[in-house]
Amino acid sequence: MGEAELQPPLHGVTVIALEQAVAAPFATRQLADLGARVIKIERPGGGDFARDYDRSVKGLSSYFVWVNRGKESVVLDLKEETDRSLVDRFLARADVFVQNLGPGAAARLGLGSDVLRARHPRLITCDITGYGPDGPYRDKKAYDLLVQCEAGLLSVTGSADSPARPGISVADIAGGMYAYTGILTALYERERTGEGSAVSVSLLDALAEWMGHPYFAQAHGGEPVARSGARHPSISPYGHYRCGDGAQVFLSVQSDREWVALCERVLRRPALVRDPRFADNPSRRTHDDELTALMEGCFAQHSAEGVTALLDGAGIANARLRTIAEFADHPQLRARDRWRDFGSPAGVLRGLLPPVVTAGREAAMGAVPALGEHTAAIRAEFTETGEG
């Protein structure tokens, strides 16, 4: 295997990131994992405000550790002429510029996509906003939970009595992943055309795409999608069921074939297959409460471990509800050697390899930077080399 084949896929790609919080940093961390050089510009006095969200990772922010691995941190005051001119030199040599500042902030700094694209035709710009560059919400501040509300996600998440925030930042993650894939697409297109492009992603648009199922179900079915806790709103049986030892198992039946297997081999009640209340999935969903009572009555004769064994034997998909601690020691992740060590200002940390596995390659998993750790070196590098 030659030297070129050993290089990571984005080796030689330089990304300038004027970013904060989660969405843009999550996108650029994916690029860093693929070997891109990501120069993260942070403000004087505190840097990316996500550094102060918490102190749970040996004194570091869990959010910041998660989405900033493998980057170089440079502290610049973009209102100062010297630092602003340094950014111009960055961009003259960069392939990608990513920003998710507040509405209009990048343009006020002279870093709007239209200006940069006119000056640097091969540059790919990526603007991540809350609600998009136009429309009545264009100047509205946006944070993850608030976008979830605007997208209708909380209306279908939680129990019947109360909406609930999902346990992760899904709007930020959705926006970050679409930005990441948009940038990769733009890099691929530039290989063919020689021209960069302007990529724009709004968190609302990203999460709205993920709301496709409840939208179509309500728009064409007529009935609002109800909040159903940990149960599936439109498939039955699909959710958690109590066993004889008080523990719960989660299971999912996705087809009539699986329904027959559940009745005959797990519940040991083959007559349920012909019961008109449970004849097909819409009928089972309508009578979900009755079906749950029947299933838990059967499961009461077994421990959760025993029910899991029966489900596995019948080919019924199932899972156990794990805590974060149990997830961190998941036997499947451990058996597949998915954990790696990486550096940080607080010492060695452990994290998961990125999900995409490419034969013969492994993600870079670079260190999390301290605030301004690379400022002096980057100033020297770009001062010496100028725009060439």
Residues annotated as part of the active site: 232
* 3-state SS assignment for residue 34: coil
Q: Could you tell me the end-to-end alpha-carbon distance of the chain, in angstroms, rounded to an integer? A: 32
Rg of the chain, C-alpha, whole Å: 25
Q: 103: closest CA among 153, 148, 143?
A: 143
Strand, helix or coil for residue 127: strand
Phi, psi angle pair for 240, to nearest 5°:
-105, 145
Three-class secondary structure assignment of 180-226? HHHHHHHHHHHHHHCCCCEEEEEHHHHHHHHCHHHHHHHHHHCCCCC
Residue type, 268: R
Pairing of strands 248-252, 238-242: antiparallel
112 to 105, 107, 202: CA distances (angstroms): 9, 4, 16
Whether omega for the bond prior to residue 237 falls within 30 degrees of 0, making it cis, is yes
Q: How far apart are CA 372 and CA 83, in angstroms?
A: 14
Task: Please report, for residues 33, 129, 306, 383, 386, the alpha-carbon distance to residue 90 in angstroms, rounded to integers and kept in the order given.
Answer: 21, 23, 61, 10, 9
Confirm if 163 and 227 have CB atoms less than 8 A apart: yes
Residue matched to tokens 């010496």: 384
| Residues 80, 78: Cα–Cα separation, whole Å | 5
Distance CA 336, CA 355 (A): 12
Other residues' Cβ atoms within 10 Å of the Cβ of residue 177: 16
Tokens of 337: 């050697």
Task: Indicate the angle between helix axes 375-385 and 81-93, nearest 10 degrees.
Answer: 70
